[in-house]
Amino acid sequence: MMGFNLNTKVFKTDMNDYKWLMDSKKDLFEGPSLIRSYIESSYHFTDQFTINPGVQVMYFNLNNRASVEPRLGVSWQFKENQKLSLGYGLQSRIQTLYTYYYLTRLPDNSYVQTNKDMGFTKSNQAVLGYDVSISKDVRLKLESYYQYLFNVPVEQRPTSFSILNTGAYWGSNTTDSLVNKGTGYNYGLELTLEKFFSKGYYYLFTCSLFDSKYKGSDGVLRNTAFNGNFVLNALVGKEFKLGNRKVLALDFKAIYAGGIRYTQIDSTGSRLKGEEVRFDNLAFSQQFPNFLKIDVKVGFRLNGRKVTQEWQFYVENITNHKNFLGKTYNVKKQEERTLYQLGFFPMILYRINF
C-alpha cells in the first residue's frame, strides 16, 4: 500500500513559465497497492540433488496490470564441500511512482497523466553458480549470470531515453508519453572469497566483471549509465579482546570500480535554449575515471550485564580521492560544472545496546 506526496515543477525558458511535472497526493488508503502471491515446492530426489520450482503472480491495482512469473532452482551437492546451482526466473517490477504520475501539459494548459497505464518492466534471468567450502569458515563462490530486459519504458519518438538509466541524474529521471518497447541486457561473472567471523577476524573479497547495454526507441545499442564493467570490493575486520568485557575492533573497506557513463553536454544548445541540453545521439558514450573509496573504522566496545556501550571513529574516503558525481550546465554563468562525490569525511559514533 503506497501513500505519497509528489509535487515538482521546473522553470522552462521557452515557455517563460513553470511546467508542472507532477502534482499528486494520496494517503495510504487512497494510493495504489501492489499484491504478490506465490507458491513454491522443493523436490529432493537424493540427499545431494534438489529442484525448487515455483511461480509468482503480481497485480498492480493502479492500472490493473498483472504478471505471472515462473521460477526454477536446481542444486547439486556433488561433493561434500562443493555445490553447483542453476536458477532461472521471469521477474517483473512496477515503474517509479514519478513515472506513473508524471504530468503532460496540453495546449489548453490542462494536464494529463500519459504514463498511468505503463506495464511492468520484465526480465528473463539465469544464474549458474559454483560454491566450495575451503574450510569450516572460508567459502569461495563463482557465479555467472545473464539478464534480458524487455517491456522497458521508452519514448514514442526515436530517442536514446530509457527508464533503465533512472538514477543517473538528479531529478525525476522520467518523461511523458512512454511506451513499453525498450530492451536491455546485463551479463557478468562474480567471484567471492569470504571468511566468516571466527578466531577474532573476518574478510570478504569480491570481483565483478560485467557488461550492461540497452536500446531506446531509436533502436541503437548503447552502454547504460551504470556500465562501469568492473567492481572490486575488499572488507577486512579484526577484534582484539582487552580483558573479559572490553573489545577493540578495526575495520577496513575499499571499493575500486569503473567510472559511470554520462552524456556530453551541448554547450551551444544549452546557451541558446537557456537550460541544460545534452547530445542525445551520444548518450552515455563518455565515462568518468575509475571510482576509488577507502574507509577505515576503529571501534571500542564495553560489554556489560544489561547494557553494552560502543564508541566508533569512522573515516570515509580516507585518501580524499576525488570521485566524479556528474556534470551540469550553469545557465547563469553559461558554463559546464563538474560535481564530485563526498571527500574525506570523519565521523564519531556512540551507541548503547540494551
Per-residue confidence (pLDDT) for residue 273, from 0 to 100: 87
* d(C-alpha 54, C-alpha 67), whole Å: 14
What's the pTM?
Answer: 0.88
* d(C-alpha 152, C-alpha 68), whole Å: 17
91 neighbors 58 (Cβ within 8 angstroms): no
pLDDT digits (tens, 9 = 90+) for 281-340: 999 999 999 999 999 999 999 998 889 999 999 999 999 999 999 999 988 888 999 999
22-28 long-range contacts, CB within 8 A, separation 24+: 22/98, 22/101, 22/102, 22/103, 22/172, 23/103, 23/111, 24/101, 26/2, 27/3, 28/1, 28/2, 28/3
Q: What is the mean pLDDT of residues 253-279?
A: 93
Superfamily (CATH H level) for 35-92+116-353: TonB-dependent receptor, beta-barrel domain (2.40.170.20)
* d(C-alpha 277, C-alpha 266), whole Å: 5
